[in-house]
């Protein structure tokens, strides 16, 4: 049997260099004309051949994490697919970007950060109609994997959507602490009796120890959002200060930064694949492409955008030395 003409690293480098079109056809056109250049079918077979999971990602990023330091952040984002209703994995999801329900693929990410690095350690694709797993199932499965991989983070941080009692108890079962936003109607009390909505209680500036119905003692902070509304943060770390809560809340924001950079720089939303395995592998390889941009950023302090621009400048420089589009004399 002949060896494959392309491998996952070829496709990753294509995603890093490509600017607008991210497809197997375009990947093959980039090197067409070279001796032994693979056809687009070679890339198509690649995306069907490799395992559609996050194990390869973990092998690449393990050395980039400090398992006993930093925080783990979990959140999901919608990869826009407005014209692809028949594409695998595509269904309707709420989009924070559009503030509406849109067609797309829901990506759930587990990010490790120390406040500076953005290291994706795991991911899941929500596909409840096929695998029967909820977002909370994916949440717990990724944390189980993180524990098995040796993580003992300072905190696990996530938004109110994932703040179910089962999720909180799962984290407590690992011996870890958590920080999350809670909705204003979450039931809490001061003395394990007379539960009321968290918004009904007077919470001092340095936070208040409270009893969460069905869970146990937590600490709650009341903060003011940019739009002037109140936000409620809760943590299992009873000695946390308001300053520490604000610091870790900034860590929580890093996953939003990560998702935006992932979409803008890797073509993760633009994969033109209808089959499930191909779509999964395109997404997985796009995430691994992002890791390379992030490593470059940490080493050079140059942004992901600048890293992509360097590739463009090199290509333009090479073209200007031997331009192809020249107006021939008509006289």
pLDDT in tens, 157-189: 999 999 999 999 999 999 999 999 999 999 999
Indicate whether 184 belongs to any domain: no
Is the four-CA dihedral 304, 310, 316, 318 of positive or negative sign? Answer: negative
Report how many domains make up the chain: 1
| pLDDT, position 103 | 87
Average pLDDT, the chain: 91
Q: Is 203 a member of any domain? A: no
Give residue 193's pLDDT.
74
Q: Output the pLDDT for position 24.
A: 85
Q: Is 265 helix (H, G, I), strand (E, B) or coil?
A: helix
Q: Residue 296 belongs to what domain range?
A: 8-177+236-315
How far, in Å, CA of 186 to CA of 231, rounded? 12
pLDDT at 216 over 80: yes
* Residue 186 forms part of a structural domain: no
In angstroms, what is the C-alpha Rg of the chain? 23
Residue 207 predicted with pLDDT over 90: yes
Average pLDDT on 299-326 reads 94
Give me the pLDDT at residue 44, please. 86
Is 196 contained in some domain? no
- Residue 189 belongs to a domain: no
165 part of a folded domain? yes
In contact, 92 and 103? CB cutoff 8 Å: yes
Residue range 89-113, pLDDT digits in tens:
888 887 877 778 888 999 999 999 9
In-domain check, residue 51: yes
Element (H, E) at 170: helix 165-173
Mean pLDDT confidence for 52-57: 91
Sign of the CA dihedral 62, 263, 29, 4?
Answer: positive
The CA distances from residue 100 to 26, 54, 187, 260, in Å, are 32, 29, 28, 18
CB 222 within 8 A of CB 156: no
- Reply yes or no on whether the pLDDT at 2 is more than 70: no
pLDDT tens-digit profile of 122-157?
999 999 888 999 999 999 999 999 999 999 999 999
Give 69: exposed, middle or buried? Use CB within 10 Å, 0-12, 13-18, 19+.
exposed
Residue 44 within a domain = yes
Give residue 172's pLDDT. Answer: 97
């Amino acid at each position: 049997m002949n060896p494959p003409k392309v491998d996952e690293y070829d496709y990753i480098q294509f995603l890093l260099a490509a600017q607008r079109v991210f497809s197997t056809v375009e990947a093959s056109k980039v090197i067409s004309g070279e001796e032994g250049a693979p056809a687009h079918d070679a890339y198509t077979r690649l995306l069907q051949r490799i395992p559609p999971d996050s194990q390869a990602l973990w092998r690449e990023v393990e050395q980039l994490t400090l398992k006993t330091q930093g925080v783990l952040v979990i959140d999901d984002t919608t990869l826009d697919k407005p014209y692809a209703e028949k594409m695998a994995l595509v269904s309707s999801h709420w989009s924070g970007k559009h503030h509406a329900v849109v067609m797309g693929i829901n990506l759930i990410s587990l990010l490790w950060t120390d406040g500076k690095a953005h290291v994706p350690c795991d991911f899941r694709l929500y596909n409840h109609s096929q695998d029967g797993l909820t977002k909370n199932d994916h949440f717990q499965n990724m944390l189980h994997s993180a524990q098995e991989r040796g993580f003992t983070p300072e905190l696990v941080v996530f938004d109110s959507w994932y703040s179910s009692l089962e999720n909180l108890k799962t984290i407590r079962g690992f011996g870890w602490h958590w920080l999350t936003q809670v909705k204003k109607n979450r039931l809490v009390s001061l003395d394990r009796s007379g539960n009321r909505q968290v918004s009904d209680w007077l919470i001092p500036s340095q936070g208040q120890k409270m009893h969460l119905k069905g869970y146990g003692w937590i600490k709650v902070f009341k903060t003011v959002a940019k739009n002037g509304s109140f936000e409620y943060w809760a943590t299992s770390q009873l000695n946390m200060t308001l300053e520490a809560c604000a610091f870790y809340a900034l860590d929580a924001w890093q996953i939003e930064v990560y998702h935006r950079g992932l979409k803008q720089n890797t073509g993760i939303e633009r994969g033109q694949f209808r089959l499930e395995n191909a779509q999964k592998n395109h997404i997985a390889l796009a995430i691994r492409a992002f890791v390379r941009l992030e490593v470059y950023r940490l080493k050079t302090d140059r942004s992901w955008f600048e890293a992509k621009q360097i590739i463009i400048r090199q290509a333009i420089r090479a073209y200007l030395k031997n331009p192809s589009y020249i107006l021939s004399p008509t006289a």
